Amino acid sequence: MRRNLFFALLLLAAGCVTRPPAQNLPRASNPFPPDALLIQRAILTVHGRQFTLNGYLALRKSKGERLIVTENFGVPLADVLVKPDGKIFVMRSSQLFRAEWIRRYVAADVECIFGAAPKKNCPGKMLSPSHFLIQRRGYTLDLQIVQTKPGPQPPELFDETKKDSP
C-alpha cells in the first residue's frame, strides 16, 4: 500500500509534459508578413485516408493570396487565387482537388489561416505560430509553415487571366 502511494505521489509531483493550449482561430492579428512566400507541408486526412501535400503560398497585401498545392513529386493538385475583395479564382484543379472543392474548402482554409480578417466560422486552431489544424466535417488539415521568405512576390502570380491549362 505504501509503495503504491509513493508511486502515485511521485507521478503527481513529476507532472506531465503537455503542449500549450491551442489558440482558436480567428486571431486578432496576422503573424505573417504582408508580402512573402510561405513554403508549407501538410497532412490532409479525408475519411481516414491520409495524403501528404506541399504548398507554396504567395502573399501580396494589395493583390491577395495565391496557393499552389502539389503532391510529393511536384505534380500540381490545386492552384487558387484569392483576391483581397474575396473573389476566388481556381487557376488549376485535379482529380484529387476538383474546382468546386477548391472554391468551397481550400480557399476558405487559406482565408481562415492567412486572410487579413479571418471569418468567424474558422474551424481551426493555431498550435504554434507556424502550425495550424483545421477540422471540418469530412476532413482534417494539419498544416505547418516550414519556411517564410519575406518580400514582394511577382505581380503575374496574382493575375487571374493567366490560368494554366490542366
pTM of the model: 0.80
Question: In this predicted model, what pLDDT tens digit does every residue of 52-70 receive, in sequence order?
Answer: 999 999 999 889 999 999 9
Residue 119's pLDDT band, with cuts at 50, 70 and 90, is low
- All domains of the chain, ordered by start, with CATH? 33-147 (2.50.20.10)
DSSP conformation letters of 74-88: --EEEEEEE-TTS-E
The answer to whether the Cα torsion of 79, 75, 104, 107 is positive or negative is negative
